[in-house]
């Protein structure tokens, strides 16, 4: 009797790219997520090895689809930019996000945020920033060995990885790039772009007006010379 050998079957592990939950609970939270993510994209436009994402599932362990988080914004140095349905760390040279931002909303629970902190601490995040726009409260944690240490003073704190500076005013959080440029919303960026366009247009119109006036002056000068010549005056010796 010949024994039949059954080939081993490989079970495909599915890593969902969405949990069906909204990206943000309210407009304020969404505005901050977009503001931080897009300004970081502006800050690192060219380097091919700085990947930035918002609300993207990060799976640190192959074969464990239940071990995941979707940071509001994450930054990964050492990985190329490009489209991803999720961040599968074993496909990314096993490089974890080094910087993570979370924007709190009234729906966030202490239990949820504790789990996130433990996750980020365990899987290699170096800098973890948590901002509550309702309370205008910013907290930061910095990796020390295998654990996080609380950053005692966040006002004017400069991120070691990003080089950005956090400033807390009585009303809100302001973030500045290493060159001093303030992080702006897309609407504010568009307004500045429009102001710059209008300024450039005014300068162009002013130059055109100056050239037109210069042309008129030249014409008047030529008319004056012609009249002097008609009267027999030698204009070459004036």
d(CA 165, CA 176) in angstroms, rounded, equals 5
Look at residue 5 in the predicted model and tell me its pLDDT.
45
The structure tokens listed for 7 are: 């080939």
d(CA 13, CA 32) in angstroms, rounded, equals 34
57-94 pLDDT tens trace: 999 999 999 999 999 999 999 999 999 999 999 999 99
pTM confidence score: 0.78
| pLDDT over 60 (residue 7) | no
Rounded alpha-carbon distances, angstroms, from residue 143 to 6, 131, 132, 158, 229: 49, 18, 21, 15, 87
pLDDT mean across residues, the chain: 89
Worst-scoring range by mean pLDDT, 24-33, 113-122, 136-145? 24-33
182-212 pLDDT tens trace: 999 888 887 776 766 767 777 777 777 777 8
Look at residue 9 in the predicted model and tell me its pLDDT.
57
Rounded alpha-carbon distances, angstroms, from residue 229 to 59, 80, 216, 218, 234: 90, 75, 20, 17, 6
pLDDT mean over 113-141: 97
Mean pLDDT comparison of 17-26, 164-173, 193-202, highest-scoring range: 164-173
Look at residue 120 in the predicted model and tell me its pLDDT.
98
| pLDDT over 90 (residue 46) | no
d(CA 25, CA 17) in angstroms, rounded, equals 19
Local confidence band at 162 (pLDDT 50, 70, 90 cut-offs):
very high
Look at residue 114 in the predicted model and tell me its pLDDT.
95
* Radius of gyration, alpha carbons of the chain: 30
Look at residue 131 in the predicted model and tell me its pLDDT.
98
Worst-scoring range by mean pLDDT, 32-41, 43-52, 61-70, 145-154? 43-52
């Amino acid at each position: 009797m010949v024994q039949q050998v059954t080939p081993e079957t490989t079970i495909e592990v599915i890593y969902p790219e969405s949990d069906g939950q909204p990206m943000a609970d309210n407009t304020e939270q969404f505005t901050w997520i977009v503001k931080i993510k897009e300004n970081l994209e502006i800050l690192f436009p060219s380097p091919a090895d700085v990947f930035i994402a918002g609300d993207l599932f990060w799976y640190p362990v192959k074969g464990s689809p239940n071990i995941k988080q979707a940071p509001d914004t994450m930054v990964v140095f050492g990985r190329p930019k490009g489209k991803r349905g999720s961040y599968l760390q074993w496909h990314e040279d096993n490089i974890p996000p080094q910087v993570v931002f979370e924007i709190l909303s009234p729906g966030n629970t202490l239990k949820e945020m504790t789990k996130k902190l433990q996750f980020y601490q365990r899987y290699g995040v170096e800098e973890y920033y948590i901002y509550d726009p309702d309370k205008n409260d910013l907290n930061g944690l910095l990796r020390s060995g295998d654990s996080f240490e609380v950053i005692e003073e966040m006002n004017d704190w400069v991120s070691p990885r990003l080089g950005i500076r956090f400033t807390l005013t009585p009303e809100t959080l302001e973030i500045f790039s290493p060159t001093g440029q303030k992080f702006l919303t897309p609407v504010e960026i568009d307004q500045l772009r429009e102001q710059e366009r209008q300024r450039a247009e005014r300068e162009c119109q002013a130059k055109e007006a100056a050239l037109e006036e210069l042309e008129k002056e030249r014409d008047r000068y030529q008319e004056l010379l012609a009249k002097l010549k008609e009267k027999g005056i030698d204009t070459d010796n004036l």
